[in-house]
């Protein structure tokens, strides 16, 4: 289940800030049509940290319904502590998720042994697979290869998603995981991760250009590295959309997610570029700059 291109879909909002169910269903459809092997709902790109529990569940239901069994739906169950993640995971299972994606506990400062216990408790609480998620830029809690080795050996985790940016660490993790599949969250070295043995990729930028990462993944699969490299270089150029916003006014999260949604809106994939509170919005001129990059890359 955990392989191929599994985009972390955005959570489209209406101009008033409510969940835009129709747009979300459309995004899922578009991804499936483009060749995605799954969709990941309520990941970091899906603004999981900013969504209420009700919206998380509803977004998941909409995605499950839209996927309609064609591809599995993974659900982010990001929360600070074990009991909280267990509740998120139970709700996700109930809403039809095929797997849940959980980080180590954060806000607290856990020991690796506590991180391992966390995942074991979560895994025991649900009957769907648990994917361990390493995103230290958000959690400030790294997930080590030795914890992964232990959890993979136990069967406590069924997958690993790496958004650390550390490819040496990813390589170490691949060795530690054995048969348990690993996904990279990197938009910028998806090609390399696949060459090294990643089972799949989870690129936020895949929301903007669904075909691109599928082509990249297919190229690696058939051993055509020049094609993979060229596709990756093109996607790296496209990723410059995250740099258009004035960072003296909005934060890094707002700049990145705002540019993804702006690009999707310009391409007609969603009805509004709006992001969740308290993220600042891109200015019209910044949205224009996103559009210019899309045009330069022939995506508009």
Cβ atoms 44, 68 nearer than 8 A: no
Q: How far apart are CA 294 and CA 266, in angstroms?
A: 9
Q: Is 137 in the site for a second copy (CB under 8 A)?
A: yes
Residues 56-115 that bind a second copy (CB under 8 A): 78-84, 86-87, 105-111, 113-115
Residue 15 binds to a second copy (criterion: CB under 8 A): no
Report how far residue 7's alpha carbon sits from residue 58's, in angstroms, rounded to the nearest whole number: 18
Tokens of 284: 């019209």
Min dist CB 289 to a second copy, Å, is 17
Q: What distance, in Å, lies between the first and last C-alpha atoms of the chain? A: 32
Distance separating alpha carbons of residues 277 and 76, to the nearest angstrom: 19
Helices (runs of H) and strands (runs of E) counted in the chain: 12, 8
**In this structure, what token pair is assigned to residue 189?**
């070295």
Question: Least distance (Å) from a second copy to the CB of residue 189?
Answer: 5
Q: Considering only residues 197-216, where is the footprint of a second copy by CB under 8 A?
A: none
Helix crossing, 145-154 with 167-177: angle to 10°?
30
Does 261 participate in catalysis according to the annotation?
no
Binding flag, residue 167, a second copy (CB under 8 A): yes
Task: Select which of 107, 161, 213, 261 is catalytic.
Answer: 161
Site size toward a second copy (CB under 8 A) is 62
Residue 260 lies near a second copy (rule: CB under 8 A) = no
Q: What residue ranges bind a second copy (CB under 8 A)?
A: 44, 47, 49-53, 55, 78-84, 86-87, 105-111, 113-115, 117-118, 121, 137-140, 165-168, 171-172, 175, 186, 188-189, 192, 195-196, 225, 236, 247-254, 276-280
Positions annotated as catalytic residues are 133, 161
């Amino acid at each position: 289940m955990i392989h191929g291109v599994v985009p972390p879909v955005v959570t489209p909002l209406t101009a008033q800030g409510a969940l835009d169910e129709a747009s979300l269903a459309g995004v899922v459809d578009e991804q499936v049509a483009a060749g995605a092997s799954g969709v990941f709902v309520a990941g970091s790109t899906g603004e999981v940290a900013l969504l209420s529990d009700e919206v998380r569940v509803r977004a998941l239901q909409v995605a499950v319904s839209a996927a309609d069994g064609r591809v599995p739906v993974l659900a982010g169950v990001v929360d600070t502590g074990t009991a909280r993640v267990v509740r998120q995971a139970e709700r996700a299972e109930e809403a039809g998720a095929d797997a849940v994606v959980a980080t180590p506990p954060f806000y607290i400062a856990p020991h690796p042994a506590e991180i391992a216990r966390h995942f074991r408790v979560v895994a025991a609480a649900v009957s769907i697979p648990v994917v361990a998620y390493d995103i230290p830029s958000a959690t400030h809690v790294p997930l080590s290869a030795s914890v992964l080795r232990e959890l993979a050996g136990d069967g406590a985790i069924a997958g690993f998603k790496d958004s650390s940016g550390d490819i040496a660490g990813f390589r170490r993790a691949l060795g530690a995981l054995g048969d348990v599949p690993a996904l990279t969250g990197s938009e910028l070295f998806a090609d390399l991760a696949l060459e090294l043995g990643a089972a799949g990729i989870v690129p936020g930028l895949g929301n903007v250009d669904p075909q691109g990462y599928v082509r990249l993944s297919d190229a690696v699969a058939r051993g055509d590295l020049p094609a993979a490299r060229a596709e990756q270089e093109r996607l790296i150029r496209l990723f410059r959309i995250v740099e258009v916003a004035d960072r003296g006014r909005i934060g890094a999260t707002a700049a990145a997610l705002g540019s993804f949604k702006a690009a999707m809106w310009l391409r007609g994939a969603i009805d509004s570029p709006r992001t969740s509170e308290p993220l600042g919005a891109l200015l019209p001129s910044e949205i224009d700059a996103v559009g210019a990059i899309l045009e330069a890359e022939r995506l508009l």
